[in-house]
Amino acid sequence: MSARFVADVGGTNIRVATVTTDGLTNIRKYLCNDFATIGLALKQYFADVNASFSAGCIAIACPVTGDQVAMTNHSWVFSQRALTEELQLERLFVINDFTAVAHSLPVLSGEQLVQIGNGTANPKGNVVVFGAGTGLGVEHMQLSERGWTTLDGEGGHVDFAPVDETDLVIWRYLNNKLDRVSAEDVLSGRGLLHIYQALALEAGEPLNVTEPAQVTEKGLRGECDICLAALQQFCRIMGSFAGNLALNLATTGGVFIGGGIATRFTDLLMKSDFRVRFEAKGRMKHYVQPIPTYLINEPDHGLLGASAYLQQQIAS
């Protein structure tokens, strides 16, 4: 097999790996801000592993609807055709990052998943994966005669729907600050900070935290009650959002949480009201109650999915 690579590109980091017959090797992570273009970042990887490649798959955090690709939460903009030529590749596939994450689900094993609450998966049922990181990605997937097929969309940019009084406090704060409040404005790194800011101002407390990571660290260490409350509300909002995704497409195969944030507070998530809010769908509670929810406990799931997609395309 000629050398192939896969890349998982978020708003902050780009992870790159070499595809082999045994899986992935030479996994490296770079900061996007260290490179003016994605081409320069990939050339750095090629140099670091001292290899040339004939094909690759880039999973990237933005819509991919044509040759021109522009990242939602970063400055990189590129032409797929021009990048293929720049990297001297025979074939290059560029897909949405959560298309890749979705393709990882069939290849993840039990220890790479942590179930939250009850529910039993229908192995042939529709599935959905979402995840909060720099942004909020969403991807549904269904099983067809040709195998698993992803259903692209921008579900992270739907309206934020408040459910309880604390949600309303957050919504009011953001509605005064932004033109429109989307799910991504609360379920992302900046979203966690937004929740903290709204709760601190409501409580009359000074805004002593300026970074999302500080909210997590101070909340988990018990150094800041508002930070802990923000984390707990983040989990509740995530549960409501997950339940909405389950309703959207009858995801009896399960709802999966990926992204880079939730795994930083797994224990808190497991003990939170996530599952309570997931099932809190009024007359439709019976519809979502049997659907299982999982946290993906595999840091390379985006790369694994990009590899699965690449191999499927090369073989077709």
The pLDDT, as a whole number, for residue 98 is 83
pLDDT tens, position by position, 71-92: 988 999 999 999 999 999 999 9
Residues near 249 by beta carbon (within 8 Å), at least 6 away in sequence: 126, 128, 140, 142, 151
Length of the chain as a residue count:
316
Which residues share a beta bridge with 10? Answer: none
What's the confidence (pLDDT) of residue 11? Answer: 87
Average pLDDT of every residue of the chain: 94
pLDDT at 313: 87
What are the start-end ranges of the H helices in 256-300? 266-271, 274-279, 285-288
Q: Which range, of 48-57, 152-161, 238-247, 248-257, averages the lowest pLDDT?
A: 152-161
**DSSP assignment letter at 21:** T
Check if the beta carbon of residue 128 is closer than 8 Å to that of residue 245.
Answer: yes
**pLDDT tier, 1 (very low <50, low <70, confident <90, very high otherwise):** low
Please say if the pLDDT value at position 213 is more than 60. Answer: yes
Tens of pLDDT, residues 98-150: 889 888 988 887 889 999 999 999 999 999 999 998 889 898 999 888 778 88
Structural domains for the chain: 4-96+301-315 (3.30.420.40), 109-297 (3.40.367.20)
In this prediction, residue 153 carries a pLDDT of 84
Would you say residue 316 has pLDDT above 70?
Answer: no
pLDDT of 250 > 80? The answer is yes
pLDDT at 222 over 90: yes
CA distance 6 to 28: 11
